[in-house]
């Protein structure tokens, strides 16, 4: 199979889908890998490293897409790339279709077969290709949230850190999955008092066994309990994820009026539409905005801030799936591996994933079960 790896074009997206070592393992499996020139230069992966690994260089994205059977990316294509997509091409990347219905429809209309990293599953119910980025985003949420609490960046002007004879600052984490758990760890490490809010009592009980009772409170999720928690918080992190679906809005606009001005809210769920009603996508160039004097950080590619770390983490898990798709052929690989098939989001102009379908059918003019085979 011919596998193409184009440069990422999203704002400040310097992660790469394949490292030279990943290319080497794929080429050794009998496949051809084409890399766009200067693909990984921003994080130190040079063209000659890819050539030595067995890749062929292609100058333009147009030529690379046209000559490939499968495209491997990190982030979903932007509208300028849609013209390169076609119905006999497979796209393997983070797609997050539920978070952007307008562009999702345009992507679906290209007819491309879209397999999304974030909905591939494993036997234990986890998301093996989403987890590495969730891990990073959860840690970054505390870092960027703390940074934007500084007064010059519209925050309260408080420090989440170790201060002798002072009460710790309060961080609320809503959603205690992979990302949320990493936020808890990072916040506790920085001497914060952490309020953990989740809709699963069993998850809260599990976390209590892990973290104990010092500087942490476990709260079952209701609108009132969320309101009470965020009113007392300096930093609020939302990391709610429902596979394939738009994130539920756990903080509504009216709830902001009771919060303290300068509180920072970090929406890790923004790729899935955001879990705060007032969230809207932002970029690393312009990461925040104010709503009711509350700082909102809603960058849609948070791990892109640490592209080398994120690339290394991603490439520990994706190559085996890429080789499975290439070795068996797309349809056979999906038919033989139900967990990989759960990654199938779109095919032949139709929505294939039930969660994505549910999220988008109220927004799009059409939907179909035609890709369920």
Active site residue 96: yes
**Average pLDDT, rounded, for the chain:** 94
Q: Say if 144 falls within a structural domain.
A: yes
Q: Are strands 90-93 and 193-198 parallel, antiparallel or unpaired?
A: unpaired
Q: Which long-range contacts (CB under 8 A, 24 or more apart) does 197-200 make?
A: 197/172, 197/173, 197/221, 197/225, 197/226, 197/229, 198/174, 200/176
Q: Are residues 299 and 314 part of one domain?
A: no
Read off the pLDDT of each residue in 139-151 and give the average, rounded to a whole number.
98
Q: Are residues 96 and 58 part of one domain?
A: yes
Q: Are residues 316 and 299 part of one domain?
A: no
Active site residue 339: no
Q: Are residues 138 and 16 part of one domain?
A: no
Residue ending a domain, among 282, 305, 328, is 305
Q: Are residues 34 and 21 part of one domain?
A: yes
What CA–CA distance (Å, rounded) separates 156 from 114?
43
Q: Are residues 100 and 149 part of one domain?
A: no
Q: Are residues 263 and 205 part of one domain?
A: yes
pLDDT of residue 110: 95
Q: Are residues 279 and 155 part of one domain?
A: yes
DSSP 199: S
Residue ending a domain, among 305, 325, 345, is 305
For residue 147, is pLDDT > 50?
Answer: yes
Beta-strand ranges (E) seen in the chain are 2-5, 32-36, 56-58, 70-72, 90-93, 113-116, 170-174, 193-198, 216-220, 235-238, 264-267, 288-291, 294-297, 344-347, 350-351
Q: Are residues 342 and 284 part of one domain?
A: no
Q: Say if 10 falls within a structural domain.
A: yes
pLDDT digits (tens, 9 = 90+) for 53-110: 999 999 999 999 999 999 999 999 999 999 999 999 999 999 999 878 888 888 899 9
Number of structural domains in the chain? 2
Q: Say if 368 falls within a structural domain.
A: no
Please identify which of the residues 100, 198, 234, 271 carries the catalytic annotation: 271
Q: Are residues 187 and 85 part of one domain?
A: no
Looking up residue 288, the CATH number of its domain turns out to be 3.40.50.720
Please identify which of the residues 96, 148, 296, 353 carries the catalytic annotation: 96
Q: Containing domain of residue 271, as a range?
A: 131-305
Q: Are residues 348 and 312 part of one domain?
A: yes
Q: Are residues 99 and 236 part of one domain?
A: no
pTM of the predicted protein model: 0.92
């Amino acid at each position: 199979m011919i596998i193409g790896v184009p440069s990422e074009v999203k704002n400040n997206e310097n992660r790469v889908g394949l490292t030279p070592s990943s290319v080497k393992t794929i080429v050794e499996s009998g496949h051809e890998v084409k890399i766009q020139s200067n693909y990984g230069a921003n994080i130190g992966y040079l063209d000659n490293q890819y050539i030595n690994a067995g890749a062929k260089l292609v100058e333009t994205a147009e030529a690379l897409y046209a000559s490939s059977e499968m495209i491997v990316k990190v982030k979903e294509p932007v509208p300028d790339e849609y013209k390169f997509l076609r119905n006999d091409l497979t796209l393997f990347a983070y797609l997050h279709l539920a978070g952007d219905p307008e562009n999702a429809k345009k992507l679906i209309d290209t007819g491309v077969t879209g397999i999304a990293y974030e909905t591939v599953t494993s036997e234990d119910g986890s998301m093996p290709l989403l987890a590495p980025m969730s891990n990073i985003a959860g840690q970054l949420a505390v870092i960027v949230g703390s940074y934007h609490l500084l007064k010059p960046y519209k925050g309260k002007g408080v420090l989440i850190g170790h201060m002798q004879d002072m009460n710790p600052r309060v961080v609320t984490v809503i959603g205690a999955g992979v990302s949320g758990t990493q936020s808890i760890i990072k916040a506790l490490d920085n001497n914060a008092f952490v309020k953990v809010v989740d809709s699963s009592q069993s998850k809260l009980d599990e976390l209590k066994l892990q973290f104990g009772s010092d500087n942490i409170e476990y709260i079952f999720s209701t609108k009132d309990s969320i309101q009470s928690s965020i009113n007392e918080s300096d930093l609020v992190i939302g990391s709610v994820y429902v596979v394939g679906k738009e994130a539920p809005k756990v903080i509504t606009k009216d709830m902001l009026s009771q919060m303290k001005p300068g509180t920072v809210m970090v929406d890790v769920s923004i790729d899935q539409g955001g879990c705060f009603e007032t969230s809207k996508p932002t970029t690393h160039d312009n990461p925040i905005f104010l709503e009711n004097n509350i700082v909102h950080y809603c960058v849609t590619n948070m791990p892109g801030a640490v592209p080398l770390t994120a690339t290394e983490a991603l490439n520990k898990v994706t190559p085996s799936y890429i080789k499975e798709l290439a070795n068996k052929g797309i349809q056979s690989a999906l038919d033989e591996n139900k967990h990989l098939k759960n990654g199938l989001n779109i095919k032949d102009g139709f929505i294939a994933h039930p969660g994505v379908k549910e999220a988008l059918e109220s927004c799009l003019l059409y939907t179909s079960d035609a890709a369920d085979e």
